[in-house]
Structure 1
Amino acid sequence: MLEYLLRLALLLPVLAGLIWGSLWLTRWLQTRLGQTPGAPGAGRQLQLIETSLIAPGMKLAVVRFRDREILLGCTRQGLVRLGEAPLTAAVPAESE
């Protein structure tokens, strides 16, 4: 029984380190792949702007594609385009 506990005490930190390392490597690779050097995100035509959870399994998402902002309804069954608008410049917040 003592041998089992010693092995467990040695292997659990190793397993935790492997899990943490794989998650870190995945996140690091996701930020590096698909970007051109010198300009992060340059050359990408599709950009996720904002998402909002409506109910479990239902979301609203705003995406930017070719100088258009598109409102999408996302469910487990698929995507539906709800609206589309031309790209607008950021409006400064009104001061009270």
Structure 2
Amino acid sequence: MLWYVLKLLVLLPLIGVMIWGSLKLAKKMQGQFGAPTGGSKAVRIVESTMLSPTLRLAVIEFHGREILVSTSRNGLVRLAEAPARLEAQDIVA
């Protein structure tokens, strides 16, 4: 019985530390896999606004176009599309 309690006191914190470490590593590595190797990404979220707990509006930039989408539990719906706006960092003098 003493051996069982001793193993429990040693292994339970060890398992907790392993779980905590794997969660920290997953958070640190999030978004690094599957990215294009060319540097810039093809899809970028420009702006996002929460309308209700289940409904959100987002502006997505994709290949020089800005697309307004509505996201909900049912999926995405494209609402509008326009040419991408030039930002200050994109303008070269």
Q: Tell me, yes or no, if structure 1 residue 24 matches structure 2 residue 24.
A: yes
Please report how far the alpha carbon of residue 25 of structure 1 lies from its aligned counterpart in structure 2 after TM superposition: 2.3
Q: Return 25-34 or 66-75, whichever deviates more.
A: 25-34
Q: Tell me, yes or no, if structure 1 residue 80 matches structure 2 residue 77.
A: yes
For the residue of structure 2 that corresponds to 1:89, the secondary structure is coil
1:11 to 1:90, Cα distance in 2 relative to 1, 3 A: same
Q: Tell me, yes or no, if structure 1 residue 90 matches structure 2 residue 87.
A: yes
Q: Identify unmatched segments of 5+ residues in structure 2.
A: 89-93
1:36 corresponds to: 37
1:14 corresponds to: 14
1:9 to 1:76, Cα distance in 2 relative to 1, 3 A: same
1:52 to 1:8, Cα distance in 2 relative to 1, 3 A: farther
Aligned residues: 87
Please report how far the alpha carbon of residue 4 of structure 1 lies from its aligned counterpart in structure 2 after TM superposition: 6.6
Q: Identify unmatched segments of 5+ residues in structure 1.
A: 92-96
Please report how far the alpha carbon of residue 5 of structure 1 lies from its aligned counterpart in structure 2 after TM superposition: 6.1
1:46 corresponds to: 43
Normalized against structure 2, the TM-score is what? 0.69
Please report how far the alpha carbon of residue 32 of structure 1 lies from its aligned counterpart in structure 2 after TM superposition: 2.6
Q: Separation in 2 of the partners of 1:52 and 1:27?
A: 24
For the residue of structure 2 that corresponds to 1:24, the secondary structure is helix
Q: Separation in 1 of the partners of 2:65 and 2:19?
A: 40
Please report how far the alpha carbon of residue 83 of structure 1 lies from its aligned counterpart in structure 2 after TM superposition: 1.4
Normalized against structure 1, the TM-score is what? 0.67
